[in-house]
Amino acid sequence: MKNETNKLSEELLKEIEEMGSDHIMSSLSTPMRADAFDLTDEEKIKKISEYFSKIMETMGLDLTDDSLSGTPQRVAKLFIKDLFKGLNQSNKPKISTFDNKYRYHQMLVEKNITLYSNCEHHFLPIVGKAHVAYIPKDRVIGLSKINRIVDYYARRPQVQERLALQILDEMKRALQTEDVAVYIDAIHMCVSSRGASDQSSSTVTVEYSGQFKKEAIKDEFFTYIKDTLK
């Protein structure tokens, strides 16, 4: 019995290692160290460039080649200034909301928001679409701000479940309402380019709050985005 238990444990560990902890998240907040911002962006870029040079050298690449010599610096800038800029609160967009002077209280849906992120397990791209809806009360939000909220939280190492929750919470906080829904459909390159190498699958995450938990409101939401669903 003990040998069978050990065998099962070994198989489970092997399976977990192969999965790379796919779709496991530890908290709603992106895991960050207390000293995450002790270094400036330029200091981080310098360090990452040095580290990435060592990675490339370890792989056997010749960094004296003209095509590769600038790669460590380019990758470092890409990480800090673009792909993972959402880690830095100073890059958070200003969320403008306005009095709901028109007393518009029907559902508002911003759909087909292009989403680029990276999975935190393999640092491979997540590419897809987000659809965000809310039912206004006293405040409404500038439409482009919804896109910026999605982009801000996407630009960090992510788990798709967490991303949907972070967008939902930010919308609720900005609009001071519980009536928000977020639907994300995305392709994960860690699935399509490694392991299972499944080129056709995508991952859907949906988060509802407030009135969107009612079946009739959910149905209305899906009516508006159904032409975008596969």
For this structure, is 17 an active site residue? no
Instruction: Give the mean pLDDT of 185-206.
Output: 81
Check 110, 119, 166, 170 and give the catalytic one.
119
Check 158, 166, 170, 190 and give the catalytic one.
190
The pair of three-digit structure tokens given for residue 46, joined into one six-digit string: 């310098």
For this structure, is 121 an active site residue? yes
Q: What whole-number distance in Å separates Cα of residue 182 and Cα of residue 146? A: 11
Which architecture does CATH list for 96-228? 2-Layer Sandwich (3.30)
Give the relative orientation of helices 71-78 and 41-58 as an angle to the nearest 10 degrees.
130
For this structure, is 105 an active site residue? no
For this structure, is 119 an active site residue? yes
Instruction: Give the mean pLDDT of 221-228.
Output: 94
The full set of domain ranges for the chain reads 39-83, 96-228
**What confidence category does residue 16 fall into, taking pLDDT thresholds of 50, 70 and 90?**
very low
What length is written for the chain? 230
Residue 26 has pLDDT above 70, yes or no: no
Residue 184 has pLDDT above 90, yes or no: yes
For this structure, is 120 an active site residue? yes
For this structure, is 188 an active site residue? yes
For this structure, is 57 an active site residue? no
Check 23, 73, 121, 161 and give the catalytic one.
121
Q: How many CB atoms lie within 10 A of CB 140?
A: 18
Can you give the pLDDT at residue 12?
38
Classified by CATH at the fold level, domain 39-83 comes out as GTP Cyclohydrolase I; Chain A, domain 1 (1.10.286)
